[in-house]
Amino acid sequence: AQKITQTQPGMFVQEKEAVTLDCTYDTSDPSYGLFWYKQPSSGEMIFLIYQGSYDQQNATEGRYSLNFQKARKSANLVISASQLGDSAMYFCAMREGPGNNDMRFGAGTRLTVKP
Amino acid sequence: EAQVTQNPRYLITVTGKKLTVTCSQNMNHEYMSWYRQDPGLGLRQIYYSMNVEVTDKGDVPEGYKVSRKEKRNFPLILESPSPNQTSLYFCASSFKNSYNEQFFGPGTRLTVL
């Protein structure tokens, strides 16, 4: 069974600094996709970044990058140059597949950016 | 605009009063899913559907029903709500059999008194 672990319930970071949010996963399927979503206080789920298990390079999307260490089964989200608007809950998720469509989520990390 | 819509966004009800939360998507997605979000537990899947007339249980299906009569709609039904179903509910959709991200609705905050 899939399992996603986010060990940091809460994190603080100073504005303009970089922060890493941890995510480890457990799967026996060689094919899977890893996702990060942001949930601001307004409640909506915003897709941030995706990493495929066969991708050779770490995914990047603007200030977001995914530090993918396949052997360690970790998929940490790195946010560079934090902004006040980055304060939110962040969820790591995984989809095995392509036949399994279910997406499993970690418990989330609440990030607070300090001015 | 490509989107997933949910209604209502907020609902306060009483124990035992049947309710339906609607979900609709305009992206022609085959796969649709319902989640509930509770503090410290992340999002847990309630039910999912691979296509019209095809539904299956997720991790926490007790007390919920769904139907998929049309591709775009996937309503969540609570026939006899109880206080432990107080939660934030999300509908999501995506193409099936791919690694695509799921698109989420705005969420429905349900309180059962």
Per the CB < 8 A criterion, the answer to whether B68 and A4 are in contact is no
pLDDT band at B48 (very low <50, low <70, confident <90, very high): very high
**Res A2 pLDDT > 90:** no
The separation between CA B99 and the C-alpha centre of its own chain, rounded to angstroms, equals 20
Cα separation, B85 vs B53, whole angstroms: 25
Q: Touching check for B7 and chain A: CB below 8 Å?
A: no
Whether A49 contacts A99, CB under 8 Å: no
Residues of B in contact with A32 (CB under 8 A): 99
B43 touches chain A (CB under 8 A): yes
pLDDT at B96: 80
Residue A100: pLDDT over 70: no
Q: Which range among A13-27, A47-61, A96-110, B5-19 shows the weakest confidence by mean pLDDT?
A: A96-110
Where does the pLDDT of residue A73 fall: very low under 50, low under 70, confident under 90, or very high at 90 and above?
very high
Identify the bridge partners of residue A95 per DSSP, sorted by sequence position: A33, A103
Q: Which residue has the tokens 């392509």?
A: A98
A40-99 residues touching B, CB cutoff 8 A? 43-45, 47, 50, 52, 91, 93, 95, 97-99
pLDDT tens for residues A26-37? 998 888 999 999
Q: Could you tell me if B46 lies within 8 Å of chain A, comparing CB atoms?
A: no
Query: Looking at residues A14-33, what average pLDDT do you find?
Result: 94
User: 């066969």: which residue's tokens?
Assistant: A54
Check whether A91 has a pLDDT greater than 70.
yes
Name which of A103, A104, A109, A110 to mutate to probe chain B: the one with the most chain B Cβ atoms within 10 A of its Cβ.
Answer: A103
The separation between the first and the last C-alpha atoms of chain B, rounded to the nearest angstrom, is: 36
For position B101, what pLDDT does the model report? Answer: 85
pLDDT of residue B99: 73
More confident site: A10 or A97:
A10
Chain-chain contact of B94 with A33 (C-beta, under 8 angstroms): no
pLDDT score for A99: 65
- The pLDDT tens digits for B51-85 are 999 999 999 999 999 999 999 999 999 999 999 99
Beta bridge partners of A24: A5, A74
Res A1 pLDDT > 70 = no
Length of chain A in terms of residues written: 115
pLDDT at B40 over 90: no
What per-residue confidence (pLDDT) applies to B89?
A: 98
| pLDDT grade for B41, boundaries at 50, 70 and 90 | confident
Residue A49 has a pLDDT of: 96
